[in-house]
């Protein structure tokens, strides 16, 4: 492990369970911004297409889901129009799934840099997660448009609940992303399983259906998935489908922290081998 004592840099074989050099991480924060800036810049380089895609993709998903699940399958939507019901779920789900995918592939994608330059590797998955906040912003515009269209009342809770939900989503996707990105370095076939895993997760999360259709006695299982809590609370907040469940907010926050800690732990454990096996 590496220690900075005054001006001395000591490099020796890694030992100990988990030591994160927070000072160093702070010193490298600029690199985190730069990576995020680069990803955003490259994605929105062709500004029109970039932004159009960020708007188009969630919108079309919403239309298709509304048609098949809302109109044909008649999935319950707790009394609000199905399109806005499913969109409020997709809003957070898309942010979660795309940042998770991006974070999981971040190390493999930047293997050339990892092999040639030192910097705290934690930066890569985390910046990959944060980058998708921009897309979230664009998707939120559609949400606002739909709320106006469906004449929804905007509750003031949004001011503090929305940031909290974003924090929960970000730390759980980067936590799981940290874990998966290190597994991905070791086992190169993981990236092929990943889309399938995320697909499954979509159906295990109340995006296209309300959490209320799950039998009460097994509903607690849903809360192992912080996105269940996030989406259910997002609905109470945007659509007034019920009171905000503060208990579930706390549970989700707690669970997402657990995922994050586990992710960091596993990542740090594997970090020493990255350059050798990538």
Partner 1 sequence: MTEPIIKIENLGKKYILRQKEKYITLRDSLNNLIPNLLSKNNREEFWALKDINVSLYDGDVLGIIGKNGSGKSTLLKIMSRITYPSQGQLTIKGNVASLLEVGTGFNPELTGRENIYLNGAILGMKSIEIRKNFDEIVNFSGVEKFLDTPVKHYSSGMYVRLAFSIAAHLSSDVLLVDEVLAVGDAEFQKRCLRKMGQVAKSGRTVLFVSHNMQSISDLCNRVILLSEGKLIGDGKPQDIISQYIDKIRNVADKENNINTEGRKGTGLVKIDKVEFDNLISGEEARIKMYYSSAKRNDKLINCRVAFAVKDLKYNLCFICSTEMYFEDNLQLNPTGILECTINKLPLGEGEYVVDLFFEENNVVVDWLKDSMIINVSAGKFHPGVRQVPKGHEGKAGTLVEHKWSTL
Binding of partner 1 at residue 200 (CB under 8 A)?
no
In three-state secondary structure terms, 211 is helix
Question: Which one of residues 112, 153, 217, 243 is an interface residue with partner 1 (CB under 8 A)?
Answer: 112
Question: By CB under 8 A, is residue 47 in contact with partner 1?
Answer: no
Coil, helix or strand at residue 8: strand
Q: Is 7 among the residues that bind partner 1 (CB under 8 A)? A: yes
Instruction: Report the candidate in 218, 222, 193 with the shortest Cα–Cα distance to residue 206.
Output: 222
Cα-atom radius of gyration of the chain, to the nearest Å?
Answer: 20
Residue of 188, 203, 246, 250 that binds partner 1 (CB under 8 A) = 188
As a whole number of angstroms, the distance between CA 252 and CA 268 comes to: 24
Using CB under 8 A, pick the residue from 22, 72, 216, 276 that binds partner 1. Answer: 276
Q: Which stretch binds partner 1 (CB under 8 A): 11-19, 82-90, 99-107, 234-242?
A: 11-19
Judged by DSSP in three states, 5 sits in: strand
The burial of 13, by beta-carbon neighbours within 10 Å (0-12 exposed, 13-18 middle, 19 or more buried), is given as exposed
Nearer to partner 1, 1 or 52 (CB): 1
Asked if 277 interacts with partner 1 (CB under 8 A), we say: yes
Cα–Cα distance between 113 and 128 in angstroms, integer? 15
Token readout for 49 is 């297409």
- Under rule CB under 8 A, which residues in 167-186 are in contact with partner 1? 183, 186
Indicate which single residue of 57, 59, 109, 119 sits in contact with partner 1 (rule: CB under 8 A): 119
**Residue the block writes with tokens 């293997």:** 111
Q: Does 42 bind partner 1 (CB under 8 A)?
A: yes
User: Which residues are near partner 1 by CB under 8 A?
Assistant: 2, 7-14, 30-31, 34, 38, 41-42, 45, 110, 112-119, 183, 186-190, 193, 272, 275-277
């Amino acid at each position: 492990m590496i220690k900075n004592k005054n001006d001395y840099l000591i490099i020796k074989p890694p030992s100990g369970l988990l030591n994160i050099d927070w000072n160093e991480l702070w010193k490298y924060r600029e690199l985190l911004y730069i990576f995020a800036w680069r990803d955003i810049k490259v994605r929105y380089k062709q500004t029109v297409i970039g932004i159009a895609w960020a708007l188009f993709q969630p919108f079309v998903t919403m239309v298709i889901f509304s048609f098949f699940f809302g109109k044909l399958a008649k999935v319950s939507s707790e009394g609000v129009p199905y399109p806005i019901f499913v969109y409020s779920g997709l809003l957070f789900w898309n942010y979660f799934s795309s940042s998770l995918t991006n974070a999981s592939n971040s190390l493999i994608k930047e293997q050339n840099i990892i092999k040639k330059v030192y910097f705290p590797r934690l930066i890569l998955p985390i910046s990959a997660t944060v980058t998708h906040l921009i897309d979230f912003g664009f998707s939120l515009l559609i949400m606002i448009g739909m709320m106006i269209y469906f004449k929804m009342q905007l509750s003031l809770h949004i001011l503090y609940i929305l940031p909290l939900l974003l924090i929960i989503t970000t730390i759980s996707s980067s936590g799981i992303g940290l874990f998966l990105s290190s597994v991905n370095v070791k086992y190169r076939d993981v990236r092929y399983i990943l889309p399938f895993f995320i697909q499954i997760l979509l159906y295990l999360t109340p995006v296209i259906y309300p959490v209320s259709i799950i039998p009460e006695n097994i509903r607690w299982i849903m809360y192992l998935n912080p996105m269940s809590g996030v989406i259910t609370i997002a609905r109470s907040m945007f659509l007034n489908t019920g009171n905000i469940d503060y208990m579930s907010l706390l549970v989700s926050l707690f669970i997402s922290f657990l995922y994050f800690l586990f992710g960091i732990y596993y990542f740090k454990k594997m970090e020493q081998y990255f350059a050798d096996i990538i």
